[in-house]
Amino acid sequence: MAKIVVLGAGLGGVIAAYEIRKKVRRQDEVIAVNETDFYQFVPSNPWVLVGWRDREDIIVDLEKPMKKRHVQLVVGAAEKVEADNKRLRMSDGSFVDYDYLVIATGPELAFDEIEGLGPHGGFTQSVCHIDHAEAGYKAFEAFCDDPGPVIVGAVQGASCYGPAYETAMIIETELRKRKIRDKVPMTFVTSEPYIGHLGLDGVGDTKGLLESEMRDRHIKWICNAKVQKVEADKMIVEEVNEDGSTKEIHELPMKYSMMLPPFRGVPAVRDIEGLVNPRGFVITDKHQRNPKYPEVLGLGVCIAIPPVGKTPVPVGVPKTGFMIESMVTAIAENLGQIVRGKEPTHEATWNAICIADFGDGGVAFIAQPQIPPRNVNWSVSGGWVHTAKVGFEKYFLGKIKAGRSETFYENAALNLLKTYKLK
């Protein structure tokens, strides 16, 4: 019997637990370890920020579906991965032993790396967690009573840019609905070298599509931006040239702001030589295994992926939903082989299908693979994107509640798009 522990129950971790359970042997034990007893659908947090969703709309109690799929749920914070001892040290002093560990923690949000950043003692909001989004909504309601300049974007070291664009457009849409848009100057501040870069050097014509959306909505932007400091009523931003030299220092007035923070590895894995890179992200090979600790596998935002190219300001590579699901499938298939004494052979495609909602429209793109050069490089905008995002939210939450990793309908749609999870 093998004991398989999945650390983290976010987008990748929950699906991984379900899928691994299907692929390993009946006698093998699958355990999911998570800080909370619920799953949160993070892509809906921009809607929570403006009051379009409530907390109960986007969370799922994990106890029932985990039990249904014969996955043990351990609720608690992992203090440290003791890789040499093959166990997790929990914050309450207990230990969870493993034969195989799948790290799916997501990142730690490094608000502390920039003065004044973040919702905890800082002056900016966040959509990275449901608690942050709820706090952001409370602040947004107060802002709407006395509106002023808004700044949205992503700071240096961030590695997920889609939610920043979504949040900017959704806020803009909501301000128009409230008929106060004319009172709110908006600026988009990003570490990307150009609008629509997305950490991927663009997908299709995301540059043109997103610049057009910004112009139509009267949102100004600053690229190649380093946020130096955030104060209660302003943000100090250094805009740099292609060679990294200072182009201009902006002091932007601010009454409300949502900025995606830098990402780094979680404390439980940081500083473990051979397991993680200097930023604390898990090192994996083509089979999602760690070279030093082959019994440890990694997926999602917590793994190390080098940037797609050199940029004046650090720009991380996003790990999008379908890309993460392809890692999940590869890991589940590989663990199915490993527990039966075989060598792993499956590789994730890292293909990407993304839907960015703008409240009254949006942009969708397909990148095969996500990291260039690509076989498919396509993007499109339209009013249907918002409807598609709403539909996907309902579909994915339904999967989590049912304890499913995929459905017949999902696989049929992917086959039509010729988009696959495994090479």
β-bridge pairing 72-75 and 29-34: parallel
Active-site residue 160, yes or no? Answer: yes
CB hemisphere CA count around 405 (13 angstroms): 24
Backbone CA torsion sign across 203, 196, 217, 357: positive
* 348 phi, psi to nearest 5 deg: -70, 145
- Tell me which of 128, 160, 223, 302 is the catalytic residue: 160
Q: Which CATH superfamily is domain 111-262 in?
A: FAD/NAD(P)-binding domain (3.50.50.60)
pTM: 0.96
3-state secondary structure of 151: strand
Contact 253, 149 (CB under 8 A): yes
Beta bridge pairs of residue 368: 376
CATH number of the structural domain 3-109+264-345: 3.50.50.100
How high is the mean pLDDT in each 10-residue block of the chain (423 residues)? Answer: 97 96 98 97 98 98 96 98 98 98 97 97 97 98 98 95 98 98 98 97 95 97 98 98 97 98 97 97 98 98 93 93 95 98 97 92 92 92 94 95 86 83 94
Q: What tokens appear for 255 in the block?
A: 């009454």
* Residues 345-372: b if buried by 16+ CB within 10 A, e if exposed: ebbbbbbbbbbbbbbebbbbbbbbbbbe
Alpha helices in 268-383 (DSSP H): 321-338
Domain limits of the chain?
3-109+264-345, 111-262
For residue 153, the tally of other CB atoms under 10 A from its CB is: 28
Answer whether the bond into residue 193 is a cis peptide, omega within 30°: no
Same fold, 3-109+264-345 and 111-262: yes
Concerning whether 128 is annotated as a catalytic residue, the answer is no
- Contact between 193 and 184 under an 8 Å Cβ cutoff? The reply is no
- pLDDT for the residue numbered 308: 87
From the centroid of its chain, how far is CA 65? 23
Question: Strand pairing partners for 226?
Answer: 238
Catalytic residue among 128, 223, 302, 354: 354
Instruction: Please spell the DSSP secondary structure of 64-129, one letter per residue.
Output: HHHHHTT-EEEES-EEEEETTTTEEEETTS-EEE-SEEEE----EE-GGGSBT-STTTSS-B--SS
Only one residue has tokens 């298939």, namely: 333
Find the angle CA(305)-CA(310)-CA(315) to the nearest 5 degrees. 55
- CB-CB contact of 407 with 415 (8 Å): no
Q: HSE on the CB side for 114, CA within 13 Å? A: 29
